[in-house]
Amino acid sequence: MEIRIFDSQLQLDEYAANIFIQLLARKKDAVLGLATGSTPIGLYNNLVESYKEGKVSFKDAYTFNLDEYVGVTPDNEQSYSFFMHKHLFSHVDLQAEHIHLLDGMAPNAEEECASFERKLDEKPLDIQLLGLGHNGHIAFNEPDTSLSNKTHVVKLDDKTLQANARFFSSIDEVPKHAMTMGIGSIMKAKQILLIVRGADKAAIVKEALQGPITTQVPASLLQLHANVTVLLDREAGRMLV
């Protein structure tokens, strides 16, 4: 596991963007696993700027997003589909058919997850971008006594509902279920890029990266992956030894 700590957000975002830019320069049809949340916004901004400057093209690339709320339409501002179009997809030359997003309105969520997993099997991820939840979740794989391997439907835990409530007018409006790639879907990626910012995540960063490997801290399982890069700001990395 390679851990890098940055003094500035801009440097971190630029470093992260360069990982994607270099991958796409080597492999035009790379398969990119993407994340939503506040963490990757700076990275996506940087990629959009780099695209406009002609430094990168997504024309032949494929994308798979980690997760989506159940029961939220793609045109809802809180949907992860809306987020991805707003921050990245509508600004770059990705082909619409190459974008894979879980459909929160699918009539059968279980079947939607199974179909997504089949597509992932056909197009293995070259890189998976991850953020980290305060409870150690990655995607929506919440702490538990066991974890699901494949893309599946989850009930979101209270900490996650509270963290997400900032995007909704009240906590009651936060969707209670989501679809998410499983730990196995994530771990199959050839490379994993985990980005974490902020003092409020320092304790969970330490647990995830230097604590015991346990399903109670899903991100700790990343310690078992052979090619993980972790990018942290000073605050998020301050408890690491």
Torsion of CA 100, 104, 106, 111, to 10 degrees: 70
* Closest CB 54 distance from ligand F6R, rounded Å: 29
Which segment (24-32, 126-134, 149-157, 220-228) binds ligand F6R by CB under 6 A?
A: 126-134
Please report whether residue 36 would count as binding ligand F6R according to CB under 6 A.
Answer: yes
Of the listed 13, 126, 142, 233, which one is catalytic?
142
Question: Measured at CB, which residue is nearest to ligand F6R?
Answer: 131
Answer yes or no: 122 catalytic. no
Question: Contact letters (x/-) for ligand F6R, 52-81, by CB under 6 A?
Answer: --------------xx--------------
Is 39 or 46 the residue whose CB approaches ligand F6R more closely?
39
Nearer to ligand F6R, 13 or 67 (CB): 67
3-state SS, residue 74:
coil
Judged by CB under 6 A, the residue of 131, 175, 218, 237 near ligand F6R is 131
List alpha helices for 105-215, DSSP H: 109-122, 158-164, 183-187, 202-210
In the structure encoding, which two tokens stand for residue 170, read together?
């009240």
Q: Give the nearest distance from C-beta 141 to ligand F6R in angstroms.
A: 8
24: exposed, middle or buried (Cβ count in 10 Å: 0-12, 13-18, 19+): buried
Instruction: Check: CB of residue 60 under 8 Å from CB of residue 28.
Output: yes
At 229, which helix (H) or strand (E)?
Answer: strand 228-233
Residues marked as catalytic: 67, 135, 137, 142
